[in-house]
Amino acid sequence: MPEIPELEAIRDFCNGHITGLTILSVEVRIPTVVRTAAQELRDTLPGDSFGVVLRHGKFLLFPLASERVLVINPMLTGRFQYLDHGARRHARTCIVVAFEGGRDLRYVDERVMGKVYLVAADQLAAIPNWATNGPDLLDPALDEERWLAGMKRYRGQIKAILTNAEFVQGIGNAYSDEILWEAGINPYTPKTALTEDDLRRLHRAAREVMAWATPLVRERMVKGDVLDYEERRDFMRVHRLGGQPCPRCGTTISEITANQRITSFCRTCQPGGPSVGFRRE
């Protein structure tokens, strides 16, 4: 699932390559992902151009000169490519936006779970859950005090809270493991068992992990003027590294699979949590 580092890298790339380019054509090859009429994209986007691309939580926003916004939530398997028009297309290429200069921006989605909207710039609140979701993790206004205030609404295990978009947007399964390891907090710890100092440390760890991971992601997905994104997270320190030594203390990393979600953590650096044994998918 693309999370903040991946989406930030895509956003940065797009701002260096597609901002201001005229759209020549739009092909909707798999209309399932489009929540607006696919014909509207085909008919009204050609001749328009993108402004500065933005990110909000797990949404990428492509503002248009026509005062509309193309909004894409890639969900679990959505990927973006920027390639020559003649480059081979992935079988699950859903949308192809062709630009002057012979390049395409492509949206590829292996499980066809993503959601694409075309809305007026002042109608973003019409997107489902837009108005009810919490702040973006990197919003400057989300300081430690606001983080603590938001936490008061939630109970349950801390990892589930971190990945709840109603609390904070942009954190998914992978980076929540990294954040909790950085903070030294067991993912299964009830929020009520954490101190204020723990929660403040968690806020700092969340920002630090995103700042650390984003340039590493960018190195892996951008090759010159080509964006051909395949998810490679070989820099992760704990996520999906069950059975390997913790890079901090050397203890074998534990990995628990529940509800089709893998949680990886170090029982020494992150004490507490369940007493079940190591299990790997």
Mean pLDDT over 142-156 rounds to 96
Domain of residue 73, CATH code: 3.20.190.10
Are residues 149 and 121 part of one domain? no
- pLDDT averaged over every residue in the chain: 94
- Please indicate, yes or no, whether residues 114 and 79 belong to a single structural domain of this protein: yes
Instruction: Spell out the residues 6+ positions from residue 65 whose beta carbon is closer than 8 angstroms to its own.
Output: 48, 49, 50, 51
279 pLDDT higher than 70: no
Asked whether residue 272 is assigned to any structural domain, the reply reads: no
d(CA 107, CA 96): 7
Amino acid type, 161: I
Domain boundary residue, one of 69, 99, 126: 126
Say if 279 falls within a structural domain.
no
- Residue 223 confidence (pLDDT): 86
Q: Are residues 14 and 63 in the same domain?
A: yes
Domain count, the chain: 2
| Buried residues in 140-169 as b, exposed as e (16+ CB within 10 A) | eebeeeebeebbeebeebbbbbbbbbebbb
In this structure, the answer to whether residues 261 and 150 fall within a common structural domain is: yes
What distance in Å separates the CA atoms of residue 179 and residue 182, rounded to the nearest whole number? 5
Residue 272's pLDDT is what? 85
pLDDT for 251: 96
Assess whether 163 and 70 both reside in one domain.
no
Judgement on whether residues 148 and 261 belong to the same structural domain of the protein: yes
Statement to judge: residues 88 and 154 lie in one domain? no
Q: What is the pLDDT of residues 204-241, one digit of tens each?
A: 999 999 999 999 999 999 888 889 877 788 999 999 99
Residue 91 lies in a domain: yes
Question: What average pLDDT does this structure show over 251-277?
Answer: 85
pLDDT at 91: 95
pLDDT of residue 261: 87
Q: Using the predicted structure, report yes or no on whether residue 82 has a pLDDT greater than 50.
A: yes
Say yes or no: 110 and 152 in one domain. no
Pick the more confident residue, 274 or 272: 272
Q: What is the pLDDT of residue 214?
A: 96
What are the helix (H) ranges across 156-271? 158-162, 173-183, 196-221
Same structural domain, 83 and 188:
no
**Residue 259 binned pLDDT confidence (cut-offs 50, 70, 90):** confident
Q: How far apart are CA 133 and CA 121, in angstroms?
A: 18
Q: In the predicted model, what is the mean pLDDT of residues 181-209? A: 97
Residue 148 inside a domain? The answer is: yes
In the listed set 99, 126, 153, which residue is the last one of a domain according to the structure? 126
Let me know if residue 131 belongs to a domain.
no
Residues 25 and 101 placed together within one structural domain of the fold: yes
| Domain annotation covers residue 278 | no
Residues 109 and 167 in one domain: no
Which of the residues are catalytic?
2-3, 58, 261
Q: Stretch 5-18: mean pLDDT, rounded?
A: 96
Q: Is 273 left (phi over 0), alpha (psi -120 to 50) or beta?
A: left
**Residue 132 domain-assigned (yes or no):** no
Domain assignment of residue 150, given as a range: 144-265
CA distance 238 to 178: 6
Choose the final residue of a domain: 75, 93, 126: 126
CATH number at residue 213: 1.10.8.50
Max Cα-Cα span within the chain: 60
Q: Same domain for 164 and 110?
A: no
In this structure, of 37-51, 115-129, 160-174, 223-237, the range with the lowest mean pLDDT score is 223-237
273 in a structural domain: no
Distance CA 98, CA 41 (A): 12
- pLDDT confidence bin for 281, thresholds 50/70/90: very low
* Mean pLDDT, residues 102-122 taken together: 96
Residue that wins the pLDDT comparison between 260 and 70: 70
